[in-house]
Amino acid sequence: MSSLQRMIMCPVCGGSVIIEHTDQVNLCTYCASPILGPNQNRNCTNHPDTLATEVCHVCKDLICDECTEKRVGDYGGKLLTIVNCSKESCIAESEWARPLNEEYQRLANMEWADRADNFILRITGVGAVVMMIFELYFILGMLNLQYFTPFGSTLPTGGLFPGILVIILMVIGNILAAVLLQTSLQVYVHERQLTSGAFLIVALILEAAYLIWRGLYFNLVQVPDPLFLTILLTAFLFGTLLVIIGSLGAIYIGNKKRIQMNRAMDQLNLSTKRALDEL
């Protein structure tokens, strides 16, 4: 690091930021948040007598409220605010995000849900991963039983080559577990949280029904090693419990968000109607 450079902590993500330019905006390498240089002029680039309030996310110029255009973009299922200045090139770079209605954003503020969203994402994600590990253990255990124990001779093959039917059925189980994992990632998205939570419940019911059918089909209650069935059921019940908790949390929080967003839209429409009536 040059003697002229120094390192500070990003106020947004807490990451280390090397101040390369003392008179220009520096970007955090972790979250891309703009960090002003210590010797940088704090006034608007377009209005030298006005204190800047924002930094253009495209050209990094300091701008005031008059020069600022804000938009909302979807990144990883979460909404973030994009700021650009009035230059045509910066406006064009930000057109992928929709214009921000600050009044609606204020009324539909979802900051209260961030902690709940993180908890729901983690618990459903861990539950879905446990289900995938359960399916992997299931297929390896079944192949071990079929090829390396006398119990394998009693397994139904349906006329297929020994092991093929087991693999096919386990692959279907892994597909269901993958659907659970994919859906669990959607509970972090405001607009999809409610439906994702409900779909997780449905997918979990299908997974449980499929497990019971496989257990009966392969007559697992007669497995000579009781530890295999114990581990199998423990893993399944643990994963199921986590997914259920996460699903119910997603349904509750998602419905609460839906009500809040509808209420915010109603209030915004009412305010707009009143303003038009006054005209």
pLDDT for 113 equals 84
pLDDT score of 266 more than 80: yes
pLDDT tens digit sequence for 17-43:
888 777 788 888 777 778 888 888 889
**Stretch 10-16: mean pLDDT, rounded?**
76
**Stretch 249-267: mean pLDDT, rounded?**
89
CB 77 within 8 A of CB 68: no
Q: Which residue has the tokens 């349904």?
A: 251
Quick one: 104 exposed, middle or buried, by C-beta within 10 A (0-12, 13-18, 19+)? middle
pLDDT for 241 equals 94
pLDDT for 160 equals 47
Please tell me the pTM assigned to this model.
0.66
pLDDT tens digit sequence for 90-115:
999 888 888 877 777 777 777 788 88
pLDDT score of 3 more than 50: no
pLDDT band, very low/low/confident/very high, at 279 (cuts 50, 70, 90): low
pLDDT for 159 equals 44
